Structure 1
Amino acid sequence: MTDDSQENQWKTLDKDLGRISHVEYAAAHVARPMVGAGVALVFMVAAGICAALLFGSFPQNMIVVAAAVFGAYMALNIGANDVANNMGPAVGARALTMGGAIAIAAVCESAGALLAGGDVVATISKGIIDPAGVAETRDFINAMMAALVSAALWVNLATWIGAPVSTTHSVVGGVMGAGIAAAGFAAVSWSTMVAIAASWVISPVLGGVIAAVFLALIKSRVIYRDDKIAAARRWVPILVGIMSGVFAAYLALKGFKRIVSIEVGTALLIGIGTGVAVHVLTIPLIRRQARGMENRNRSLKALFGLPLILSAALLSFAHGANDVANAVGPLAAIVHASEFGAAAGTVAIPFWVMVIGALGISFGLFLFGPRLIRMVGSRITRLNPMRAYCVALSAAITVIMASWLGLPVSSTHIAVGGVFGVGFFREWHMERRLRGHRAARATGPALPTEERRRRKLVRRSHFMTIIAAWVVTVPAAALLSALIFAILTSVAG
């Protein structure tokens, strides 16, 4: 065999091996989603086995086993969808890598759920239906199962299409639909539903306005100053103090209900004291960090990086403490009704149920969370550490204000509303500056319509998708829940 023919053979072999390697890469890419689905399925089966071992005897435990499986499914979906609202801004601002965000969120969400999660939960989702209206225990269990399954399915669908929706409102819609199917429209507390519907508008608008106000403050007092670093040395400790005070009040009010119940006034005093103390302690730290920095915006981003990471971690802790009930509340209601043969407005959550919720949120975040984190962090509008900081701060302030006013709000709506507020403020501010420059020059035509549309800083397609998903969440979950309740009732009958 000649040298040329041998060389051609080796080239052919190299090409074949290259094709095989491409096939392997393609197969790995296709199989990657299946790995996540497989791990999620294993976790759901493990939750069912845990329920079978810890609860009762046949046939009662079969109902609890099924509820545990769907509770684990709901927790996975909360981790995939809801947690993105806390970590998305920090990742979009590049203060955290995706891996770092997932690790911090998983630890903080689990800690919040297990250490500070409420041990008593309103299983009928804040009084939406009256347990007395569902007289038969079997109907009550079917209603809670339908609410759990419908909410999980809706959140799963929303995650798939890339829309961050409220898991709280999904559970609300599921409970309402099942309650109507079980006991008619009279069983629903419509005054509560009106308050929840009002929160659809109030919470994102309030979150957006507060985020825009803080961004305007940072721009006017720091970014547009001649000596940016000197301005930052003065204002960053103030802003960090505000953040610390707000989160101290937030955690006192919402994060430690299992340990101690604190009134709004006391929580505000705790927040003021913490804020003042942190402000004083931060002054020398910021001065040391700012020493030798160049007088430009990139230097300012470094000063906001650590406060942004801490705020994201604290939001995740508080989210785990409060929203784990969305996953395990209906499950706890089913466990209680199966054990005692009667429905109840509030029940104690068994520790094993809370563990399912905490682990499910963490697994859901790890397996399916990156997609929504990218959506919230970078695909709605561009974020940097200053803008993301304003979003996190507005989320905490809005929740405290809503608690004080007694409004049921969604952390999802608040955080995404903050992102929209930052983006729309930047659009308005840019347009205002352009008008000012044109007026100063007194020359130049107005920009064409296409160019003005191209310069929009908030992506309108994502905006409309998210708003549409918010509007249909409660009715969609309610209709789906009523259908599932009808199926469960017919099968049981």
Structure 2
Amino acid sequence: MWQIISAVFLGWSLGANHTANVFGTAVASRMIRFWTAAIVCAVFVLLGALLQGQAGMATYRAMAGVSLNAAFLVALCSALTITLMTYLKFPVSVSQAVVGSLVSIGLLEGNFHWEVLVKVVICWIGTPLGGMIFAIILYFLVGKFMNGLNLNLFQHDRYLRWCLMVVGGYGAYALGANNVANVTGTFTGPGMLTPFHACLIGGLSIGFGVLTYGKKVIMTVGKEIVRLDGYTAFIVILAEAITVHIYAGIGVPVSTSQAVVGGVMGIGLVKGVSTVNLKRLYQIFYAWIGTPAISFTITFLLYLMFSRLGLL
């Protein structure tokens, strides 16, 4: 089944783009070294994919039942879109790229289920809002708890580094659990991958992307929207992890990018809107809109070309 190569490519591009969502704020604030973060992220992404990644597979199967060759095209076009956005340093949504591609094929083949898309889009809107709300609440709750510990500066710094490592591992677990369906979900079904093997291949490919190309987007998330210190980095990662894990539980693959940017926006609102780099934020919003549109267009063109060549 050579078509799975495109899913591995997509998993690699997801890992490369989404490392920043889990550890970007911690690395950019210099609380954790990149390679420490990358190794922890790769391990927990695989664990999340294997232990809780199967729920999202059913959502993509229900959205558009596609053939093996069509699944190859979905993964390939999504991966090309995400690789482009990673090169441009935009933290974008793999789920948006995959859904954009699925909509394109579904329209061409006439077997798309719009009710599933509506559910997913509603969750897309709720993801950054959830990240923002959790960040604001956690900023005050955790701050009150830590102030009550009466730690000196050295103790506070050491405690915060360990907290960042723990919530980063949790965030990576949630990333694997929620996003592995984006990578190999369209390859599950009769005559294709079992859910377990889909989760295994997807988790490994995401981890490989984390380790080999994960540093590219980190500074965009960690510095270019709102400058974060160690404490606010911890809050953003925790808010993102909670938000994404909730959606993993209900089987809807959502964007960790949207969750983490929502968390950073929440910190910006707490600190004052003047601290937010609105220009960079607008660029990220445009990239979010462009991601499904680009994936849709690439898929549409390649589908027509492959059909003419008799490859579909």
Asked if these proteins are the same fold (TM beyond 0.5), I'd say: yes
Tell me the equivalent position of 1:310.
Answer: 166
Q: In structure 2, how many angstroms separate the alpha carbons of the residues matched to 1:487 and 1:148?
A: 16
For 1:209, the equivalent position in structure 2 comes to: 133
Mapped to 1, the partners of 2:269 and 2:284 lie a distance apart of 15
**Aligned-CA RMSD value:** 2.8
- CA drift of 1:491 comes to 1.1
Q: 1:121 is matched by which residue type in structure 2?
A: M
Q: Deviations over 1:180-232 (max 9, x none)?
A: 1122xxx322232223223333210221122023224456x47xxxxxx8x33
Match of 1:370 among 206, 215, 225: 215
Match of 1:386 in 2: 231
- 2:84 alignment partner, one of 154, 157, 164: 157
Aligned ranges for residues 272-311 of structure 1 at < 5 Å?
Answer: 290=151, 293=152, 300-311=156-167
Provide the rounded CA distance (Å) in 2 between the counterparts of 1:370 and 1:303. 25
Aligned pairs for 1:438-449 (under 5 A) are: none
**Cα distance in 1 for residues equivalent to 2:259 and 2:23:** 14
Between the aligned partners of 2:72 and 2:203, the Cα distance in structure 1 is: 19
Mapped to 2, the partners of 1:361 and 1:113 lie a distance apart of: 10
Partner of 2:256: 411
- Check whether the contact 1:128–1:193 (CA below 8 A) recurs between aligned residues: yes
- Opposite residue 152 of structure 1, the aligned amino acid is A
Tell me whether 1:106 sits opposite 2:30 in the alignment.
no
Change (3 A) 1:118 1:211: same
2:9 matches 1:82: no
C-alpha displacement of 1:366: 1.7
What is the distance in 2 between the residues matched to 1:195 and 1:354?
23
C-alpha change, 1:205 and 1:114, in structure 2 (3 Å) is closer
Report how many aligned residue pairs link the two structures: 311
Give the C-alpha shift of residue 115 in structure 1. 4.9
CA distance in 1, matches of 2:8, 2:36: 24
Which is greater in Rg?
1
Name the CA distance, whole Å, in 1 between partners of 2:196 and 2:249: 29
Cα distance in 2 between the residues matched to 1:159 and 1:207: 22
Distance 2:182 2:302 in 1: 18
Matched, 1:348 2:194: yes
* Greater shift in the superposed pair: 146-155 or 383-392: 383-392
> 1:324 maps to which residue?
180
Give the residue type in structure 1 aligned to 2:174. Answer: A
Shift of 1:401: 5.3
Shift in Å at residue 126 of structure 1? 5.5
Structure of higher RCO (CA pairs closer than 8 Å, 6+ residues apart): 2
User: Structure 1 residue 303: deviation in Å?
Assistant: 3.0
1:116-140 Cα deviation digits (max 9, x unpaired): 5439932x616222x3xx7xxxxx3
Please give the alpha-carbon distance, in whole angstroms, between the structure 2 residues aligned to 1:211 and 1:84.
17
- Report % sequence identity: 27
Q: Residue 93 of structure 2 corresponds to which residue in structure 1?
A: 166
| Structure 2 residue ranges without an equivalent (≥5) | none
| Alignment-derived partner of residue 438 in structure 1 | none
Gaps of 5+ in 1: 1-63, 135-139, 223-228, 234-286, 340-346, 429-455
Partner amino acid, structure 1, of 2:222 = G
What residue identity is the alignment partner of 1:369?
Answer: G
